[in-house]
Amino acid sequence: MEIKKELPEVFKEFAEARQNAFLAAKELKEKDIPLIGIFCTYFPMELAMAMGAAVVGLCATSDETIPEAEKDLPGNLCPLVKSSYGFAKTDKCPFFYFSDLVVGETTCDAKKKMYELLGEFKPVHVMQLPNTQDEDGYKLWKKEVIKAKKVLEEKFGVEISDEKLRKAIKIRNEERKAVRALFELMKNDPVPMMGYDLFKIAYGSTFKFDVEKVIEEIKFITEKVKKEYAEEQKIPHKPRILITGCPIGGATEKVIKVIEENGAVVVGYENCVGFKQYDRLIDEEKDDLYDAIAERYFKIGCSVMSPDKYRYELLYRIMDEYKVDGVVEVILQACHTYNVESFGIKRVVSETKKTPYIAVETDYSQSDIGQLSTRLTAFIEML
């Protein structure tokens, strides 16, 4: 990345990263570089990197193909699942089209059944994620990580050596450190950047296939933001919001926009594209690499887990470190695990942490923007 680039230009570049990655995915195929499509942060990225493959997220974030998906799927299903299936079925997702293998994780029942249908279009491997984060669940998960390694080796005719895996672990850890350092800039009050710009970088970076280049770019952005913040603070103090809940991106970015257009700033995201994806590192000192990998991914907080202790631990820490004034939980329609867990999250935020909380249920349409604006504006004015 050229140093002369200004921050608005950089933010725009990352905002367009997903669209630009369509062409990049095609170029990967032309170079015979394997592309693995995934649906969740539980997939061990290091396995793919160690075999020389690229990874891309397949969760669709638009309602464009939902009508086509509903010809096969129930209408009262999570929009993320319907959209993902619809884009695969209609061949409108270049990432799905160019993927050599799709890897799913059993993070919800709707996804589990969707994977069966996706298997009619593409080779699919499903990692069986336990629903409890205890010793027995961990043993199962470690077996699934090792099994995924063997599936990749057999599918692509490669060997994932310990040497290559160690290197991949180190690089991915460096990426996590770089993104975390960027996130931590939002601990400042007033903030050095808007939360939507922060989201563009975090979300956009997942669609850039050269990880080492991404690390350099993130570090450059972090230093540039710090420099400009030290020279001249342009953003006045605003109520500080943490967004938690279901995955966001694409259509659901409307929530971020409404919050920041109405006087507040999003200082962090507990969602999949945010803290939970970058919070924990893999222990590079462990002799058993698969134990180290399994442990790191096993401790991701997700509403599929019962009890979901790691999500609550992360939430507590973020609220304290980022001096959060209010918490907005985004729940996708028909996402039962997050919807049910929102009761516990509300109790922790409102009663234990004495912090204002609001849950907003939405889908991938734009029809509820007026309602979202009304509710979130009232919430922000209360802070």
In this predicted model, what pLDDT tens digit does every residue of 197-250 receive, in sequence order?
Answer: 999 999 999 999 999 999 999 999 999 999 999 987 778 999 999 999 999 999
203 and 317 in a common domain: yes
The pair of structure tokens assigned to 233 is: 């603070």
pLDDT of 32 over the 70 cut: yes
Instruction: Report yes or no: 119 and 90 within 8 Å, Cβ to Cβ.
Output: no
178 and 96 in a common domain: no
Query: Whose CA is closest to 342, among 322, 360, 355, 356?
Result: 360
Put residue 128 in one of left, alpha, beta given phi > 0 → left and psi -120 to 50 → alpha: beta
Range 5-34 average pLDDT = 89
Distance CA 60, CA 350 (A): 32
Last residue of a domain, one of 101, 134, 158: 158
187 and 122 in a common domain: no
Find the angle CA(316)-CA(353)-CA(382) to the nearest 5 degrees: 120
Cα 43 to chain center, whole Å?
A: 12
**pLDDT of the residue at 61:** 84
Confidence bin at 1 (pLDDT 50/70/90): very low
Instruction: Report yes or no: 131 and 306 within 8 Å, Cβ to Cβ.
Output: yes
Give the CATH number for residue 25: 3.40.50.11890
Using CB atoms within 10 Å of the CB of residue 121, give its burial: 0 to 12 exposed, 13 to 18 middle, 19+ buried.
middle
**pLDDT of the residue at 4:** 52
175 and 143 in a common domain: no
1 within some domain = no
Distance CA 88, CA 167 (A): 33
351 and 315 in a common domain: yes
**pLDDT of the residue at 266:** 98
Query: What percentage of the chain carries pLDDT values higher than 90?
Result: 91
**pLDDT of the residue at 3:** 45
Query: Whose CA is closest to 327, among 309, 304, 300, 354?
Result: 354
Distance CA 361, CA 374 (A): 14
- Which CB contacts under 8 angstroms, 24+ apart, belong to 368-372? 369/254, 369/258, 372/254, 372/255, 372/258
The pair of structure tokens assigned to 284 is: 């590079």
Range 52-80 average pLDDT = 94
153 and 215 in a common domain: no
Amino acid identity, position 48: A
- How many domains, the chain? 2
175 and 105 in a common domain: no
Last residue of a domain, one of 158, 190, 219: 158
Q: Read off φ and ψ for residue 93, nearest 5 degrees.
A: -110, 105
279 and 202 in a common domain: yes
222 within some domain = yes
Confidence bin at 350 (pLDDT 50/70/90): very high
Distance CA 381, CA 237 (A): 14
User: Which tops the pLDDT comparison, 256 or 231?
Assistant: 256
Confidence bin at 5 (pLDDT 50/70/90): low
275 within some domain = yes
Mean pLDDT across the chain: 95
Per-residue pLDDT tens digits for 81-139: 999 999 999 988 899 999 999 999 999 999 999 999 999 999 999 999 999 999 999 99
Confidence bin at 12 (pLDDT 50/70/90): confident
347 and 204 in a common domain: yes
198 and 121 in a common domain: no
Give the number of residues written for the chain. Answer: 383
Last residue of a domain, one of 158, 190, 209: 158
Give the domain range for residue 345. Answer: 163-382
**pLDDT of the residue at 216:** 97
Per-residue pLDDT tens digits for 260-296: 999 999 999 999 989 999 999 999 999 999 999 999 9
pLDDT of 2 over the 60 cut: no
